[in-house]
């Protein structure tokens, strides 16, 4: 709901695609800077406490944004600064959150758990815009941020109700954080499969995520002039994307451990996702755009679930926090960088033009990787 309202707020304050991309970039910049340290911390300390602290930091950012909007003191620099602060909380909470799954679920059920976890997460993409539209039109933008702030305390309560195993104590003198971090990086460099996954994730996020960043622009400049208000079109686009993501997660979750040839399927999905983005960039018809963003949601969630399942299955538990944090740098870092670069070019050309180019590049790069044989390690999974 905050993402829905914040995107429209940035457009109202600036009218710029570049600032939409900059807001996304700054929200993820702390993840790029600190998430590797967060992974080491997640391997050392109580992951539940780390998550609780992360929720409180993000709650502060949401409440501050609500107050600034309510008293009409908001500027684009406030939005950007609070996005950065919220990202700080995620930098330390993200590795702890993802590392909890194997502690709560038997290994044989891990692919199902990851996909089903993605299902509940992506329900927010449907419920958020739905609630955001209702709250924004009836109570105003500030209420969207205030309710988001309250929601973090529900997560804190949920964390208090679960029992989480503590990390296994390190025998002997504890190594320095940077030593543990280098150990995790060395492990990743030695694993060709993980390196291939990380490279593919960076490319797909860099080229595919701008489709999400530009949804407010598409709603306002492409669809709204012929089919209702920008708020309505943005709600429908985000809801269709959310339905697609939930559908993709359910498909992967249903298959679970029975899913064969994950690596090959991952490459096929990435290639098709590029074609979907190209088609979405060309579309000017609302119903076609809804269908394409729905398919894009399926492809994105299938790509994430399959790649993350492979990582979780092959990583030893004592390195899980560090390796997950490295994977999350690729997952969370590629998108904002892509949004920043694409936002710059979208102001020079147009958002649809940039999406067409990005989608074509994604499909061509995937095809090139397959033909060159560099993805051979994936084909064995």
pTM score:
0.71
- CA pair distance 278, 341, nearest whole angstrom: 18
Assigned fold of 2-165+176-380: Growth Hormone; Chain: A; (1.20.1250)
- Check: CB of residue 80 under 8 Å from CB of residue 23: yes
Residue 22 CB partners (closer than 8 Å, separation 6+): 80, 340, 343
Q: What is the DSSP string of 150-203?
A: HHHHHHHHHHHTS--PPPPPPSSSPPPHHHHHHHHHHHHHH-HHHHHHHHHHHH
- CA pair distance 203, 195, nearest whole angstrom: 13
- CA pair distance 70, 289, nearest whole angstrom: 34
> 312: which DSSP letter?
H
- CA pair distance 141, 70, nearest whole angstrom: 8
- Check: CB of residue 262 under 8 Å from CB of residue 310: yes
* 3-class secondary-structure state, position 339: helix
* 3-class secondary-structure state, position 376: coil
Spell out the domain ranges in the chain. Answer: 2-165+176-380
- CA pair distance 359, 222, nearest whole angstrom: 18
User: Residue 172: its pLDDT value, please?
Assistant: 46
Low-confidence residues of the chain, pLDDT below 70? 111, 115, 118-119, 121-122, 125-126, 164-175, 177, 253, 255-262, 317, 373-381
Burial class of residue 154 (count of CB atoms within 10 Å of its CB; 0-12, 13-18, 19+): exposed
User: Residue 357: its pLDDT value, please?
Assistant: 94
User: Residue 116: its pLDDT value, please?
Assistant: 73
Residue 303 sits at the vertex; the CA angle it makes with 297 and 305, to the nearest 5 degrees, is 100
User: Residue 355: its pLDDT value, please?
Assistant: 93
- CA pair distance 160, 248, nearest whole angstrom: 30
Other C-beta atoms lying within 10 Å of the C-beta of residue 122: 25
- Check: CB of residue 296 under 8 Å from CB of residue 277: yes
Alpha-helical runs (H) found in the chain: 2-14, 17-44, 47-70, 76-104, 110-138, 141-160, 177-190, 192-208, 210-213, 215-217, 230-255, 262-282, 286-314, 320-348, 351-372
Residue 111 corresponds to which tokens in the numbers above?
Answer: 């692919």
User: Residue 379: its pLDDT value, please?
Assistant: 56
- Check: CB of residue 322 under 8 Å from CB of residue 193: no
* 3-class secondary-structure state, position 319: helix
User: Residue 279: its pLDDT value, please?
Assistant: 94
Other C-beta atoms lying within 10 Å of the C-beta of residue 46: 14
- CA pair distance 196, 351, nearest whole angstrom: 30
Residue 142 CB partners (closer than 8 Å, separation 6+): 66, 67, 69, 70
């Amino acid at each position: 709901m905050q993402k829905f309202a914040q995107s429209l707020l940035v457009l109202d304050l600036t009218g710029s695609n570049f600032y939409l991309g900059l807001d996304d970039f700054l929200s993820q910049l702390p993840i790029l800077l600190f998430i590797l340290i967060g992974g080491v911390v997640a391997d050392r300390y109580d992951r539940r406490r780390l998550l609780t602290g992360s929720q409180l930091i993000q709650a502060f950012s949401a409440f501050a944004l609500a107050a600034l909007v309510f008293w009409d003191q908001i500027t684009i620099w406030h939005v950007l600064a609070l996005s950065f602060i919220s990202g700080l909380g995620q930098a330390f909470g993200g590795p702890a959150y993802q590392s909890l799954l194997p502690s709560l679920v038997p290994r044989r059920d891990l692919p199902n758990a990851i996909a089903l976890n993605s299902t509940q997460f992506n329900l927010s993409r449907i419920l958020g815009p739905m609630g955001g539209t209702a709250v924004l039109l009836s109570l105003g933008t500030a209420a969207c941020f205030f309710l988001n702030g309250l929601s973090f305390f529900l997560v804190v309560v949920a964390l208090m109700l679960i029992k989480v195993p503590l990390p296994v104590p390190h025998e002997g003198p504890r190594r320095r954080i940077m030593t543990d971090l280098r150990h995790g990086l060395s492990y990743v460099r030695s694993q060709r499969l993980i390196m291939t996954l990380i490279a593919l994730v960076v490319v797909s996020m860099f080229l595919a995520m701008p489709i999400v960043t530009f949804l407010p622009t598409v709603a306002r400049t492409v669809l709204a002039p012929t089919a209702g208000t920008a708020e309505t079109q943005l709600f429908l686009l985000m809801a269709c994307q959310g339905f697609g993501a939930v559908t993709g997660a359910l498909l992967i979750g249903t298959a679970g451990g029975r899913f064969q040839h994950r690596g090959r399927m991952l490459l096929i999905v990435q290639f098709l996702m590029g074609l979907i983005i190209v088609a979405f960039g060309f579309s000017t018809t609302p119903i076609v755009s809804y269908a394409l963003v729905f398919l894009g949601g399926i492809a994105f969630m299938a790509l994430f679930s399959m790649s993350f399942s492979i990582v979780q299955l092959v990583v030893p538990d004592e390195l899980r926090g560090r390796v997950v944090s490295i994977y999350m740098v690729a997952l969370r870092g590629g998108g904002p960088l892509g949004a920043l670069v694409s936002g710059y070019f979208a102001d020079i050309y147009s958002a649809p033009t940039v999406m067409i180019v990005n989608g074509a590049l994604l499909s061509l790069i995937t095809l090139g990787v397959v033909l060159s044989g560099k993805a051979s390690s994936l084909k064995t999974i």
